[in-house]
A and B are shown apart, each in its own frame.
Chain A
Amino acid sequence: MGVLELQQSLVGHKGRVWNVCWHPSGESIASCGEDKTIRIWMHDKSKWIIKTILTEGHTRTIREVSWSPCGNYIASASFDATVAIWDQKSGQFECNTTLEGHENEVKSVSWSVSGQLLATCSRDKSVWVWEITDDEYECAAVINAHTQDVKKVRWHPEKDILASASYDDTVKIFKEDTASSDWICVSTLASHTSTVWSLSFNNRGDRLVTCSDDKSLKIWQQYEPGNEMGIPTPDDEPVWKCVCTLSGYHSRTVYDVDWCKRTGLIVTACGDDIIRVFREESDSDKHQPTFSLVCSMENAHTQDVNCSQWNPSVPGLIASASDDGSVKVWAYND
């Protein structure tokens, strides 16, 4: 079994912390929450210290923050129905762009790998794709494929393919139709029996892990047209199949999941205050994989864990956020 060692507890937010996001360099962390602020924490020698507190960008809870792939921008999604884009052209972070259009709470925001597309989703059931040219954000698509509140949007690690998770218990995959340049739903991943809270692609983007209010994790494998397994691919589009369900490990809602692009480890954030780490077995069959629980950090926080994310550059480092008001940095060791 592996162990999680607490590196530091970052205290400062007032009330629930909803989300944390690592800077692409892995040297700073942005966090956000109920107190309508974004806090940027930096690693200075041996310690994490608060560098900046961003206020007055939003009038209600900030649900999620996301660094752009270049590390120069932060996008924040808020219950105030807007997304703010923060840049540091003046030397300090400032909100110079606010994206409006959603009818109510924005739940999630994600940058594509190129940094030229931004996706947002909302309780209004829609997913929006924004095109970015020279700091101008233009709505390229409003996708009404889900029948309920959309909880999370995440881009494929290499391609302009978007995945979304919803209160309607499904995950959907979207891409731009080259002929019409419309964004279309190319796949619906149905298997969870309650809200899908989050999802994460693996490093190559041919697998997805999803987590749910049904207390399970699911691993989905992509099958391209003409795949060796003979899995039918109607419409000549790849098909996503659930190849593994991890149930019995979580005792309450699983709020977040992150698949480490470097180590292949999966970390989960759960309503039972526990952070868990899973690893694929070495002799695992790709089409019927097996994963084992390698670490279960009891009382990782004193209340629900809302978010758990792997550092993109330092293997094994995890940041977590909780209802208990703290952000914690952990080191995972085998």
Chain B
Amino acid sequence: MSKVLENPTPKIYPTLEEKIADGECEEKVTRNPDEFDARGIFELLRNINDPEHPLTLEQLNVVQQNLIEVDNESNEINVQFTPTIPHCSMATLIGLSIRTQLLRTIPPRFKVSVTITPGTHTAETAVNKQLADKERVAAALENQFLLTVIDQCLENAVQT
């Protein structure tokens, strides 16, 4: 993008692979494929591209495994994401990318909510309301321009 970046030098965090290589955490290998857990959802989200930087949401710490809640019994998934800066104008777009990725990869029985980590964005309430309004999300996803941008964000994320 030609415009000036809002956050030109964001802090970059280690990815799961790097953490495993450093012995900071272990890769869980045995998982029930029918059950969803925070780790599985994180896997679907961590390689989403940031709309501004050639970095993933994991590298920017926008999505974190410990901010994902999964309740298989009540079919609820709650994802909190943390914008890199409190006035990030991309917050809605990032949230929409996360929501779209989950729409495409998670069985429809799940009720998915995507919200900003409390206290990390100046327009938190407005962005959360927008992302929770399924009618507006549906209309946004019929917008070809927006869909192209979202697809670019999702091109390296896990596909189904």
Name the interface size band of chain B: 10 to 19
Contacts of A323 in B (CB 8 A): 108
Is the beta-carbon distance between A213 and B109 smaller than 8 angstroms?
Answer: no
Cα A34 to Cα B139 with chains together (Å): 10
A-B Cβ contacts below 8 A, count: 36
Is the beta-carbon distance between A304 and B109 smaller than 8 angstroms?
Answer: no
Cα A123 to Cα B139 with chains together (Å): 10
Is the beta-carbon distance between B139 and A271 smaller than 8 angstroms?
Answer: no
- Counting chain A CB atoms within 10 Å of each CB, the highest count among B129, B135, B136, B142 belongs to B135
Q: Give which listed residue, B109, B132, B139, contacts A61 with CB less than 8 A.
A: B139
In the complex, which residues 79-129 of chain B have their Cβ closer than 8 Å to any Cβ of chain A? Answer: 108-109, 111, 129
Chain B interface main SS type? helix
Q: Is B11 in the interface zone, CB < 8 Å from A?
A: no
Q: Is B133 in the interface zone, CB < 8 Å from A?
A: yes
Q: Is A258 in the interface zone, CB < 8 Å from B?
A: no
Is the beta-carbon distance between B133 and A61 smaller than 8 angstroms?
Answer: no
Is the beta-carbon distance between B134 and A304 smaller than 8 angstroms?
Answer: yes
Is the beta-carbon distance between A79 and B133 smaller than 8 angstroms?
Answer: no
Is the beta-carbon distance between A79 and B142 smaller than 8 angstroms?
Answer: yes
Is the beta-carbon distance between B108 and A303 smaller than 8 angstroms?
Answer: yes
Q: Give which listed residue, A16, A34, A60, A123, contacts B136 with CB less than 8 A.
A: A123
Is the beta-carbon distance between B138 and A16 smaller than 8 angstroms?
Answer: yes
Q: Is A224 in the interface zone, CB < 8 Å from B?
A: no
Q: Interface digits, A231-264 against B, CB 8 Å rule (1 contact, 0 not)? A: 0000000000000000000001100000000000
Cα A16 to Cα B142 with chains together (Å): 14
Q: Is A107 in the interface zone, CB < 8 Å from B?
A: yes
Cα A253 to Cα B135 with chains together (Å): 12
Is the beta-carbon distance between A34 and B138 smaller than 8 angstroms?
Answer: yes
Contacts of B134 in A (CB 8 A): 304
CB-CB nearest in chain B for A63: B135
In the complex, which residues 315-333 of chain A have their Cβ closer than 8 Å to any Cβ of chain B? Answer: 323-324
Cα A194 to Cα B128 with chains together (Å): 12
Is the beta-carbon distance between B138 and A167 smaller than 8 angstroms?
Answer: no
Q: How distant is A64 from chain B, measured CB to nearest CB, in Å?
A: 11
CB-CB nearest in chain B for A16: B138
In the complex, which residues 256-307 of chain A have their Cβ closer than 8 Å to any Cβ of chain B? Answer: 271-272, 302-304
Q: Give which listed residue, B111, B132, B138, B142, contacts A213 with CB less than 8 A.
A: B132
Q: Give which listed residue, A61, A151, A271, A302, contacts B138 with CB less than 8 A.
A: A61
Q: How distant is B139 from chain A, measured CB to nearest CB, in Å?
A: 5
Given contacts A195-B129, A271-B111, A323-B108, contact A61 B136 (CB under 8 A): no
Cα A72 to Cα B7 with chains together (Å): 58
Is the beta-carbon distance between B132 and A79 smaller than 8 angstroms?
Answer: no
Contacts of B111 in A (CB 8 A): 252, 271-272
Cα A272 to Cα B111 with chains together (Å): 8
Is the beta-carbon distance between B129 and A194 smaller than 8 angstroms?
Answer: yes
Cα A272 to Cα B138 with chains together (Å): 18
Cα A324 to Cα B107 with chains together (Å): 12
Cα A302 to Cα B142 with chains together (Å): 24
- Please, could you name 28 A-B residue pairs with CB atoms under 8 Å apart, sorted by A? A16-B138, A34-B138, A61-B138, A61-B139, A61-B142, A79-B138, A79-B139, A79-B142, A104-B139, A105-B139, A123-B136, A123-B139, A149-B136, A167-B129, A194-B129, A195-B129, A213-B132, A213-B133, A252-B111, A253-B132, A271-B111, A272-B111, A302-B109, A303-B108, A303-B109, A304-B134, A323-B108, A324-B108
A107-B135, A213-B129 known; 10 other A-B pairs, CB under 8 Å?
A: A34-B138, A61-B138, A79-B139, A79-B142, A105-B139, A149-B136, A151-B135, A213-B132, A213-B133, A271-B111
Residues of A near any B CB (own CB < 8 A): 16, 34, 60-61, 63, 79, 104-105, 107, 123, 149, 151, 167, 194-195, 213, 252-253, 271-272, 302-304, 323-324
Residues of B near any A CB (own CB < 8 A): 108-109, 111, 129, 132-136, 138-139, 142
Q: Which 6 A-B pairs have the closest CB atoms?
A: A105-B139, A79-B139, A60-B142, A303-B108, A79-B142, A61-B142
